Amino acid sequence: MISKAKIKQVQLLEKKKYRDESQLFVAEGNKLVAEMIPFFECEWLIAHTTWMATQGNIPAKELIIADEEDIRKVSLLKNPQDVLAVFRYPSYKIEEVNPSDKLVLALDGIQDPGNLGTIIRLADWFGIEHIVCSPDTVDAFGPKAMQASMGALTRVKIHYINLEAFLWKHDVPLYGTLLEGNNIYEETLSSNGVIIMGNEGNGIRPAVESLVNKRLYIPHFPPEHQSPDSLNVAIATAIICAEFRRRQR
């Protein structure tokens, strides 16, 4: 049976403040937890015996066998699955991030966890290993972003840093997506550098925009067609990453 203390811990970890303080986060779902166990330190795990039986050795500090009712009590999801785990945050070094020889994604103030999770999944799909984020970008290890990323956090490393300082020190192409940018389909795109995506409502901040040396725009079609002012940031990221990778085939 799951203890009241464990239930309270999971409920607290839904909030960023407590994730930051404890350096712990929650992952739920049969496939997601199975993918994450080899990559993240697992403090404790609660699951049905049927799920545990399919996993072999489970490297968790504490294993708790539970029934559906137990998992429902502790779960943060509307439709809980067979397993929930509490993992420790990974520790990555920003020195690993070298945009001189590969593409890096930079996120400036992304606020929607669903958008962030989708962008992480896109980075994984297009072989982008590192995402650097401004400190006010939503937490990648929050429940909603975690679910949207679909296990991509096992392969994509997230860094929360002073974005301006990071961009300033790298003499590489810094691509910004801007309404007054140049048509992405007519521009030369490199296999290295930083692709900067801005906040859902306000775009890239002026201080960060001032560092952009390659300004891009995704044109709508046909040119005379009435269209929204901008695309959803996750959709725009998908289009841009796909075009970069298409050029590199």
pLDDT in tens, the chain (249 residues): 788 898 999 999 999 999 999 999 999 999 999 999 999 999 999 999 999 988 888 999 999 999 889 899 999 888 889 999 999 999 999 999 999 999 999 999 999 999 999 999 999 999 999 999 999 999 999 999 999 999 999 999 999 999 999 999 999 999 998 888 999 999 999 999 999 999 999 999 999 999 999 999 999 887 777 666 778 999 999 999 999 999 886
Q: Are residues 240 and 188 in the same domain?
A: yes
Q: Are residues 104 and 161 in the same domain?
A: yes
For residue 93, the model assigns a pLDDT of 94
Q: Are residues 37 and 131 in the same domain?
A: no
Q: Are residues 205 and 138 in the same domain?
A: yes
Q: Are residues 131 and 201 in the same domain?
A: yes
Q: Which of 57, 88, 119 is the last residue of a domain?
A: 88
Q: Which domain holds residue 148?
A: 95-247
For residue 156, the model assigns a pLDDT of 98
pLDDT digits (tens, 9 = 90+) for 57-104: 899 999 999 988 989 999 988 888 999 999 999 999 999 999 999 999
For residue 202, the model assigns a pLDDT of 92
DSSP per residue over 189-235, as a string? Answer: --SSEEEEEEBTTTBS-HHHHTT-SEEEE---SSTTS---SS--HHH
Q: What is the CATH number of the domain that holds 186?
A: 3.40.1280.10
Helix segments in the chain, DSSP class H:
4-12, 16-22, 30-36, 49-53, 68-74, 113-125, 143-149, 163-168, 206-209, 233-247
Q: Are residues 141 and 242 in the same domain?
A: yes
For residue 223, the model assigns a pLDDT of 72
Q: Which of 55, 88, 121 is the last residue of a domain?
A: 88
Strands 193-198 and 103-108: parallel
For residue 78, the model assigns a pLDDT of 86
Strands 63-65 and 83-88: unpaired
Instruction: Name residue, tokens 């997230």.
Output: 158
**Phi-psi bin for 46: left (phi > 0), alpha (psi -120 to 50), beta?**
beta
How many structural domains are present in the chain?
2
Q: Are residues 110 and 159 in the same domain?
A: yes
Q: Tell me how far apart the alpha carbons of residues 160 and 246 are, in angstroms, rounded to a whole number.
A: 29
Q: Tell me how far apart the alpha carbons of residues 182 and 147 are, in angstroms, rounded to a whole number.
A: 34
Q: Which of 66, 88, 110 is the last residue of a domain?
A: 88
- Return the H-helix or E-strand segment holding 174: strand 174-183
Strands 24-28 and 83-88: antiparallel
Q: Are residues 72 and 195 in the same domain?
A: no
For residue 222, the model assigns a pLDDT of 77
pTM value surpassing 0.75: yes
pLDDT digits (tens, 9 = 90+) for 55-69: 888 999 999 999 889
Q: Are residues 75 and 115 in the same domain?
A: no
Q: What is the CATH number of the domain that holds 22?
A: 3.30.1330.30
For residue 132, the model assigns a pLDDT of 98
Contact 129, 98 (CB under 8 A): no
